[in-house]
Amino acid sequence: MNVQTQVRRAGAASTKIAIADCDIHPCVGSPRELDPYLAKRWQQEFATFGSRFRHAFSGGPQYPKGQPDAHRRDARPPSGAKGGSDLGFMREQHLIPNDVRLGILNPLSPSGQGFQNPEFSAAYCTAMNDWQKYNWAEKEPRLKASVLVPYEDGAASAAEIRRRAGDPAFVQVLLLSRSAEPLGQRRYWPIYEAAAECGLPVAVHAFGYGGTPITGGGWPSYYIEEVSGHAQCCQALLTSMVIEGIFERFPGLKVVMVEAGFAWLPPLAWRMDKHWMRLRQETPHLKRKPSECIRDHVWIATQPMEEPDRPEFLRDTFEWIGWDRLLFATDYPHWDFDDPAQAIRIKLSPEERLGLFYNNAAELYGQPLQ
């Protein structure tokens, strides 16, 4: 006789608290929405040549998604507009029922990031930053924006960061994980310098258009491998950041890993410590163990939530990362959305719950604690 596995998740649901959602994806409903912020020259560029990434397709991703636009199917507003494009519907479906007190906006493609044309990339990013500010953050006090930067151009990125610094609408800088070179490399250092100087954390979100195969042995066939592959990409880029010494060079820098899961982080840190120690001669600029750099400088969002078949393994992982480094995120409106009332299958203490669901993010992003 089949017994329904309707597990009552006592953790988040029992005493509701307001949450921080560290990964929300607003999107442009139609390209026209960006016109007030984008110079005519670039409006025409978009209309004539399109966005052009380092893969084949002019519209649509390299690996076709599992659901249309990778959205949960119920995220389409009644108007028929794209999921994530309607603030009113987002409030109704997500912000209010889930009591999102702090929501971090991470706009994805097309955002300007990864465009082959560096000037176009910079112009589009700036326009999208204005769009986030005026169409979202200033209309909805719960929501905070990310400074989109044309990250392949370090200097242009630093300029954009400094332009937005001090504006309370913006709480972090956003990069994508699959850059042209590993993100610890020198060409990206101006980004970290500016971000650290301006007191803005740098979030690295899964995906990107660097053009490198998502494995060191070439291109996999399937979307399922791309999704799973984000964990490997984030391990590699975090390795690059640590080994290249950006945390030594920019001691005030904070990095947030978003949408690549989190359980890979402790074994990565163990492996890094072991082999870095053996090969230390190669990296005289590193003064601390990799695991210490990670502890001191790296936060990690919880989406997609890990689902070990024995839930106590999840507690191990949270402990090994550190309860103060975990940031709850839903990834709304994407299909692999984590529902705050359902996603965590273990009982959390009130302190653990408050940190993971809100205060860690509030502290990181300079917002009042609960």
Applying CB under 8 A, does 93 fall inside the site for another protein? Answer: no
Applying CB under 8 A, does 42 fall inside the site for another protein? Answer: no
Q: Which value, in Å, is the radius of gyration of the alpha carbons in the chain? A: 20
Give the one residue of 28, 338, 356, 360 binding another protein; rule: CB under 8 A.
Answer: 338
DSSP lists the bridge partners of residue 257 as 204, 300
User: Nearest approach, Cβ of 141 to another protein (angstroms)?
Assistant: 28
What is the footprint of another protein within residues 51-70 (CB under 8 A)? 66-67
DSSP lists the bridge partners of residue 301 as 327
Q: How far apart are CA 65 and CA 75, in angstroms?
A: 16
Give the one residue of 107, 112, 190, 261 binding another protein; rule: CB under 8 A.
Answer: 261
Applying CB under 8 A, does 268 fall inside the site for another protein? Answer: yes
Give the one residue of 43, 239, 367, 370 binding another protein; rule: CB under 8 A.
Answer: 239
Tell me the per-residue interface mask from 284 to 303 with another protein, x by CB under 8 A, - otherwise. --------------------
What is the footprint of another protein within residues 193-222 (CB under 8 A)? 210, 212-222
8 or 32: whose CB is closer to another protein? 8
199 or 213: whose CB is closer to another protein? 213
Q: Which two tokens stand for residue 294?
A: 């990670």
Give the one residue of 249, 322, 335, 347 binding another protein; rule: CB under 8 A.
Answer: 335
DSSP lists the bridge partners of residue 310 as none
User: Nearest approach, Cβ of 134 to another protein (angstroms)?
Assistant: 31
Give the one residue of 276, 328, 357, 365 binding another protein; rule: CB under 8 A.
Answer: 276
Applying CB under 8 A, does 342 fall inside the site for another protein? Answer: yes
126 or 179: whose CB is closer to another protein? 179
Applying CB under 8 A, does 227 fall inside the site for another protein? Answer: yes
Applying CB under 8 A, does 181 fall inside the site for another protein? Answer: yes
Answer whether 91's CB lies under 8 Å from 84's CB.
no
9 or 162: whose CB is closer to another protein? 9
What is the footprint of another protein within residues 306-325 (CB under 8 A)? 306-310, 313, 316-317, 320
Whose tokens are 């649901």? That residue is 13
Give the one residue of 17, 81, 87, 180 binding another protein; rule: CB under 8 A.
Answer: 180
Applying CB under 8 A, does 44 fall inside the site for another protein? Answer: no
313 or 323: whose CB is closer to another protein? 313
User: What one-letter code names the amino acid at 130?
Assistant: D
Applying CB under 8 A, does 89 fall inside the site for another protein? Answer: no
169 or 227: whose CB is closer to another protein? 227
The 10 Å CB-count burial string (b at 16+, else e) for 4-18 is: eeeeebebbeeeebe
